[in-house]
Each structure stands twice: as C-alpha cells, then as structure tokens.
Structure 1
Amino acid sequence: MEKSFTSLAELQTEIQLLKVKNFQQEEVIKERLHSPSAIFHTITSLFKSGSSNNQSLTKTLLNQDLFTNLARVGIPLVMNGFLFKKSGFVAKMLITFLSQKAAKQVTSNTVTGIVDKFQGILKKFIPITKKKAAPRDYGIPPDSESY
C-alpha cells in the first residue's frame, strides 16, 4: 500500500486525510464505549458466532456433542502440554487456535467411523479364531460299572 507522491502538496493532503480518518475512528470507539452497558454489549458482540443464524458462542457450544466438546479441551492440552512443551507463547497460541478449528470437525459420527475402520483393519490382520469347547464332564456316565 505504498503511495508515491510527486509534490509536497499531495503528501500534506494525504496526511490531513489520514488525520481525519483517525479522528472518525476515535469517535466511533468513544461512542461504543460511552457507558457500561455499551461496553458490555460490545464485549458480548465479540462472542457471536460467524454463522448465518447468528447464534451466540454459548449456544453453539451447548449444541455440540460430547466428543466435540472434549476435543476442544483435550487437543490443545495434549498438544501444548506434551508435544510442544518448550515452545514459546506465540507457537502455543497458534497451536491452540488451529486445534480449536480442528476440534469443530470432530463429532461422534467421525469418531465411530474411525473406530469402525480400525476394527476392520484389525480383523484383516488378526483373524479371530474360536476356541473349541472342551467336552463337559457331567459326572459318572450311565454306562459305567458303578451305575
């Protein structure tokens, strides 16, 4: 976004334009933060979901299944606690952000699908053999001499 200026007048008009934009942005911020209720509304608007039905963050979290909620907590803990233990703050923040995005894709259907595929692979490599039942002993047979 580099602009080239041919004269001093163009540079001064650009500076004045940027000062006006800065002033307008300051007025918008002051308007948003003029009372405690406006501050509260601004903060709660940050937690709105980006979906088209405009559900809040808490509603979307409560509508997710158990596996998704566990993944949203467990994946960042495992990644930051064990795999990237000595990484810096920025790396841990990026890992947490990416794992949160990935955890949204984890649902109970995907988990059961993965478990079923794993069982199918195990059945191919490890054949399940049934043990032959040993003959049961019911005591003295009726044809024996002690009968």
Structure 2
Amino acid sequence: MRKRYNIQNLEELQGRIAELKAVYNSQGKLIVEDSKLYVKQFTLGALIKKYATPSSLLKVDDKLNISSKVMSLVLPVLMNSTLFRGSGFITKTLVGLATSKVGKTLDAEHLSAIFNSVKSWFGGDKKKKVKPVGYVDYGIPPDSETY
C-alpha cells in the first residue's frame, strides 16, 4: 500500500524527506533502547534477583522438598568423610542410614535456623558500647539564682 503525499514543490519534498529521516532515527533509537532493556531482563544477575529471593526459594522448596533430598544425599557423605573417616564398613553404613533419615526431615526453614545459630557462634558479640555520660550543659549559667 502506497501513501500519497500532496507535495507541490522541491522545498516541500526536501522538508518531507528531513521529517521522515528524523522519524526514522528516533524510532531506531527507541528500538535499540527497548531491545537493551529486554535483553537486560534475561541476564544472570536479573534472573537471580528475580527468582533467587529467599521467599521464592522457600516456596519452591515447599513444593519439591529440594533441600531435604539434597541433605539426605550430602549428609551421609559428609559424616562418613569427616567424623567417621577411620570407621569400618558397618559403622559407615549405619551412619549413612541414620543421617539420610535425618536429612529427609530437614527442610529449608530448619537449615536456615541451623545456619543462623552456627553463624551466631562465630559472629562474635556486637554489643553496643555505652558511653559514660559526662557533664551535661543545660545552658544555665553557674552564677544564676536557679543554680
């Protein structure tokens, strides 16, 4: 479909060409800006900010029990490789069975509570030091009658 313009002379034609070039350039800049914003939505940082929030992770974990499955696999390996390193086959098997059962009962809330308690052990006391109150000047001169 062709657009018809009512152009009478050369000046009107040149004006229309300049107008179309300006529209072309502005639309090109808008398309580039919009595409940059669109691509920025799918960067790794943006996806982490959007989906890796604690509340969304807890919601996913409530549905799929990912943390309990991972803990039931990781906890026996961790215990047998650290605490029960020199133990025999039967001891490692019993520890593996017990820790896999314990790992299945752990969920994200329990893990975050355990993490916070361990963090508090190593965090050190950050109590605020109370400054001793020195002389407080209330603005009353010492030679006044109210003093």
Task: Report the TM-score range of the alignment, normalised by the length of the smaller protein.
Answer: 0.3 to 0.5
When you count helix as a share of all residues, which structure comes out higher? 2
Relative contact order (C-alpha < 8 Å, sep 6+): which is higher?
2
- TM-score (normalizing by structure 2): 0.37
From the CA coordinates, give the structure whose radius of gyration is larger: 2
TM-score (norm 1): 0.37
